[in-house]
Structures are given as C-alpha cells and as structure tokens.
Structure 1
C-alpha cells in the first residue's frame, strides 16, 4: 500500500472490495438499521471483519459535509475520568483545549472509551476493534497511563493527533507539545550553583518515563555547565513520598554533604504533604540547613501550603498549543509530525537559599 493510500481514510467502497460484496450491502451493515436484518449473518460478519481490518469508523456527521470534514476536534484521556474538578492536575489542560478549540471555530468531542469505571487499564481507543476517534477530524490526547501500541497504531493509519506531553514510540514519529523540563531543570541547577551549592541530590521518580528522563538530563546538563562532575550516588529514586524520612535527610546532610535537594513531584498532593510532615519532624530547616526545590509544582497548591521554590508547568498553554498544532496538521495535504516545547516559569518560593558554610561530608 502506498503512502497516499495509507493517508486516505478507508471508505465503504474499500470495505466492499475487501469483503467481496456490493457497497449497498456494506452500507446496510454499517448503518445497523432494520434493513440490515436482511443481510446473511456470514456476510455481516465478513463486512465487519473487513471494516476492522481497514480501520474504518463510520462518521455520520461528515457524510453531509463537503470534503469529509465535520469541524469536530476530539479530546481523549488515558486517565480514568475526565478532569472536571478544578483541583485536578489535568483540569488546566481540559480548559486550554476547550478554549482554543472554540477559538479555532471547531466543536469539541470528549471520548470516554472505557469498559469499566474501576480501571483506567480498560480504557482503549480501539475498544470494539475500530478507531472511534475518527468521529472527529483529529484528536488531542493526554494522560499518564498511555497505551503506546495504540499511539503507534494511530500513527500508522495517519490519523491526525497531538499528544500533550513528550511521548516516544518505536519506529514511528509522533506530534506532541511538551513542557521543556530539560531547560527548566537546568535553570534550577544554575540557580542553586549560583548560590554556592555543589552537592545537589536529585530525587527522581521510579521508571523511565519521558518527563523523568528529561528532568535528569537537565540536572546533568546544569552540573556540567557549572563545571561540577556528576556524583551518581546523588541521583536517587523516589518510589513513594513516605521515603522522605528524617533519617534520609540527616544522612544526606551530615554524611553525604548534600546542601540542596531537587525533587521530582508527584501528580497528586502526597509529595507536598510528605515534605510538610518532614519539615515538622526533623531538626533541619529549609533552606537554612538544606535548600529544596521542586521540579514542577504541587497539583493543587493553595496559600496555606508551603511556598516551595519550584517551576510551574504551562499546562493551559500546552493544551492551547496542542490544538493549534492539530489544526495546522489538518490543513496539510501530507501532515508532517512536529514537536513543540513550551517554557516553564520559575517560582522563587521560600525554600532555596545560600549553601550552608560546611565542609563536604560534615555537618
């Protein structure tokens, strides 16, 4: 199959050729109306199998519009529920997508392809065997629990989509809009080294997700630019915020000579709650004894919480850029995948100060 054929959405004519039946038969089966009862069960199964193989999804709204466009953009989340609570980490993304979709003159269609309300793992773009996102002209995707095989399938069938966040899939190139974690983390390291810090511990999330890798790359680049060799013992994983114990902090400060912590935050409030608890249970103070900066921001920061030094993710702007990029791709005859990085904003907070005057490895 040529690239041009792969980009063209399959039609009922294609299904008819694959199943060896007439287009009228395909139309009756796809419509699912009372007249479809006239079709033999074996023929109906053959038509549906051909439709699934070709990745066909009936787009009723588009049938009456010239050019096959229906002025609908989709939003699909791999999360369990859509983020309708304003305190949800993903809510600004939803708001940004909604605002920019309206500004671009499109309607927004929310997809919820899940067979069980109890498990995000059940959420699938291809629930039922076909790409239901094709009801829209293109789609913005987001979420942590990504099914990469489905992203690869979307890319192979040339369905227009943009992911919010950097995501990579083997052998295919994706379009995405991501926060520039590398630059933001590098700048945070520069802030610390400019205040005299040389022993900076990076507490990263467990796993090899792209945002975690980007933050670590920024950490390493920042140290290199400051002329500080990377001490691999100062790159540690954070499996659970409960690991942030007073004993850990004592060992880092008194035995390892650490003067600053760079912490990758979780997407809920467990981390900020653990940090607040740690500050109450330890004799060490932030930033007097050790500076601490978050490589991101608490998902629902409010004034009564500690104003940690951090950088802020431009979540609504990322979503708006994703919609703009999607509309741009829809206007191209041969869409070319693109990747955009949006700068993060430094928030000074009150948890970073000058490096304490202590010799390395001693309190």
Structure 2
C-alpha cells in the first residue's frame, strides 16, 4: 500500500484565500494586537473560521524568529502522569525528556490541562472518551490536543507525546497536518505513519519464555491485558515466538485475560495449576497496583507459592515498586532512555527538510528476581508441583 500523501502546513496565505481577504488582513487578525481593532467584525470572524477549518494555530513565540524555530519542545500527556515521587512509573520518562531537552539546547513546555472531549477538527470523540464519567459518577473532562478546534501544541516546534489512553483520531490529525511529534511507546493509526520510540516487548517476552523453558517449563500460561493495544500485541507475539524457538506448541487455552485484576484469586490459579497443568505464569502488569497486590496477597496465603508451586514473571515493571515490595522476576523498561531517544528523534525530524517518520525500539533489561525456579518433578494429589 502506498504511504499516505504528506500534507504541507497551513499558512496565512491559505487562510486568506479561504476567507477571501488579503494576507495582511489575516496577519492583523491572527496577531490579535491593537492594530487588529481596525478589522471589521464580520471579516475577523470569517478569518478565524477559515483558520479553524484549515487547522491553523499561530505559533506566537516563533513569529519573530528567523526560520520559525523558537527552541521550544512540548511534552503532552493524554492522562495525568505527573508523579508525586520517584517511585512513580512515569517519573523516569519525565526525567528523561527534561534532561535530553536541556542537552539539546531547547526549553521544555508542558501541556497538561484538561480539554474538550470533542476530538480533532471534524472528528467525533472516540468511543468511551466523550462524556466519560469519573468513579464518583460526575462528568470527567477528557484531555484534547484540539480543544477549541485547533492544535494547541503548535506553540512548540515539536512535541513528545506520552500516555496509555490515547485519542487515535488526534494522532491521525497530527499526522495529516505534518506536525512534528514522537510518541513514547509503539502507536499506530489507520491513515498514516507516525514516529515513536518503544520498548522491545517482543524480544523481552521471548527471552522470558526461553528462561522458563530452560528451567524445564512446558506449560506456561500468558495472562494478558484485555485491551488489544500495541504493547499487548507485542507481548503476545513475543510469547508465541519464545514458545516456537523452544520447540513448544502454542496451546490457545493458555492465553487468558482478566477484565478485573481482582478476578485473579488463589482459587483461579489453583484451577489453572490443577486443571491445565501449568507450571509457570507470565503476567502483563496493569497501570495500577491492583494486579501485583493480588499476587502478593495470594503468595501470602501459602496455598500457592512462587516459585515452589508455580513460577511467575512479570512482562514489565510494576506501576510502583519499593525495596519493600516483592522482587518479582521480570523485565524492566528503559524508561529514561526511551524518553531521551524520543527527544533526540524529534530534534532530528525538526532538522530535516522533508522529515520521514522514524520508529525505534529499545531493549529491555532482565531482572532475575525471586519468583522463577525449575519445574518440580514430585507431584501430589491434584497434580500440583511440590518440593
């Protein structure tokens, strides 16, 4: 399939043609200064309407700078990710963006305010976004790049985007208008190609499967997230690849998902061990601590012990980890490195005459932890491995 045609950025000349006025008139209206008062109100409204239709947002800081560059990079988050302390999952991402932005000689502008749920210009909000409610039942404003109908990020030269709950229609709009941005994490849209820096979940998951297979495990259950996101698809691809490389046939019954982490109970895990004969469990962490807390509660009962009764490994970092937490076997995301690479890729795109989308993957690090061990050969009653 041929790549989508790249659209040039809207200029004030384009607005002038659409509104049927001179470019000088457009400049006066867009500037919003005292001189704009001489423009008749109907003309001013026509210019602003044309600007909104064409997706134009004036870069106020860059207007007086040669070449239109203001040495400002943006950081936009699709949900609240700003941490309260260094244990927060997002802290290394934000630190990496800040440090690399300074290293590149740019200033950093944070976009974090709530906005309209109306979505990108001319597009409806995505299902489950518009009109969403908080846990208390009150309406919850969704963040939107295009609040008010225009791209608010254009005050910056380019932007790093971050967050799990993305608005796909807004990513598509950014691609269509050729606004420079890099997403931290693999994200795709149907009508274009975007730049991203992602963790190599495929290789990291395959390596964990190889680790378990090397310890004698053949019945490995993969507990995936219910959403069909790119990171989840990458983890499943790695699971299947790891099994294939170990010479283990894929059993579709060993790929499960849980809509609610509270559903992961001792009884359910005992059923998988006794009924499916699993000896190891790979778990995709959730965005909060409920799943790892359920695992910690389960291991505290002594009914299922990790790794004595079942080996367990996490496919990523727990959302919040302290030295007092269980040291689960896992792979760890190079979060600060990913964020720094995203800034470097963004600056490279800004320096190119005709930038092409770039995708970069960064290796994850294996954390041995204490929840994986060899298969036990002595079994009792229900078929559960015991030492």
TM class by shorter chain equals: over 0.9
Relative to structure 1, is the Cα distance of residues 172 and 11 closer, same or farther in structure 2, using a 3 angstrom cutoff? same
CA contact (8 A) 1:114 1:120 kept: no
Task: Tell me the distance in 2 between the aligned counterparts of 1:271 and 1:255.
Answer: 22
CA drift of 1:64 comes to 1.7
Is 2:64 aligned against 1:64? yes
Relative to structure 1, is the Cα distance of residues 121 and 81 closer, same or farther in structure 2, using a 3 angstrom cutoff? farther
> 1:182-208: per-residue Cα shift (whole Å, max 9, x none)?
000000000000000000000000020
Is 2:199 aligned against 1:179? yes
Task: Tell me the distance in 1 between the aligned counterparts of 2:354 and 2:85.
Answer: 38
Task: Tell me the distance in 1 between the aligned counterparts of 2:249 and 2:6.
Answer: 52
Residue of structure 2 in register with 1:350 after alignment: 370
CA contact (8 A) 2:87 2:322 kept: no
CA drift of 1:11 comes to 2.5
Residue of structure 2 in register with 1:156 after alignment: 176
Mark the runs of 5 or more structure 1 residues left unpaired by the alignment: none
CA contact (8 A) 1:200 1:259 kept: yes
Residue of structure 2 in register with 1:96 after alignment: 96
CA contact (8 A) 1:269 1:298 kept: yes
CA drift of 1:289 comes to 0.9
Task: Tell me the distance in 2 between the aligned counterparts of 1:180 and 1:60.
Answer: 38
- Equivalent of 1:310, from 330, 349, 363? 330
Task: Tell me the distance in 2 between the aligned counterparts of 1:77 and 1:227.
Answer: 42
Task: Tell me the distance in 2 between the aligned counterparts of 1:5 and 1:27.
Answer: 26
Is 2:192 aligned against 1:191? no
Residue of structure 2 in register with 1:48 after alignment: 48
Task: Tell me the distance in 1 between the aligned counterparts of 2:99 and 2:86.
Answer: 15
- Equivalent of 1:206, from 216, 219, 226? 226
Mark the runs of 5 or more structure 2 residues left unpaired by the alignment: 117-132
Task: Tell me the distance in 1 between the aligned counterparts of 2:318 and 2:299.
Answer: 16
CA contact (8 A) 1:139 1:162 kept: yes
CA contact (8 A) 1:120 1:145 kept: no
Relative to structure 1, is the Cα distance of residues 81 and 221 closer, same or farther in structure 2, using a 3 angstrom cutoff? closer
Relative to structure 1, is the Cα distance of residues 98 and 6 closer, same or farther in structure 2, using a 3 angstrom cutoff? same
Task: Tell me the distance in 2 between the aligned counterparts of 1:266 and 1:102.
Answer: 32
CA drift of 1:240 comes to 1.8
- Equivalent of 2:293, from 273, 279, 287? 273
> 1:12-57: per-residue Cα shift (whole Å, max 9, x none)?
2221222111223222322223443443332122101111122211
After superposition, where does 1:214-363 map in structure 2 within 5 Å?
214-357=234-377, 362-363=383-384
Task: Tell me the distance in 1 between the aligned counterparts of 2:229 and 2:252.
Answer: 19
> 1:103-153: per-residue Cα shift (whole Å, max 9, x none)?
001111111242389777521111111111111111100101101111111
Higher percent of residues as helix: 1
Task: Tell me the distance in 2 between the aligned counterparts of 1:237 and 1:121.
Answer: 29
Structure 1 length-normalised TM: 0.94
Is 2:160 aligned against 1:140? yes
> 1:271-308: per-residue Cα shift (whole Å, max 9, x none)?
22111111123422110111000001112211111111
SS in 1 for 2:50: helix
> 1:200-258: per-residue Cα shift (whole Å, max 9, x none)?
00000002001111111100110111111111111000222211111111111112111
CA RMSD of aligned residues (A): 2.1
CA drift of 1:359 comes to 7.0
Task: Tell me the distance in 1 between the aligned counterparts of 2:304 and 2:152.
Answer: 54
Bigger shift: residues 32-41 or 217-226: 32-41
Q: How many matched pairs?
A: 360
Task: Tell me the distance in 1 between the aligned counterparts of 2:159 and 2:102.
Answer: 14
Bigger shift: residues 351-360 or 67-76: 351-360
Task: Tell me the distance in 1 between the aligned counterparts of 2:16 and 2:267.
Answer: 69
Bigger shift: residues 188-197 or 292-301: 292-301
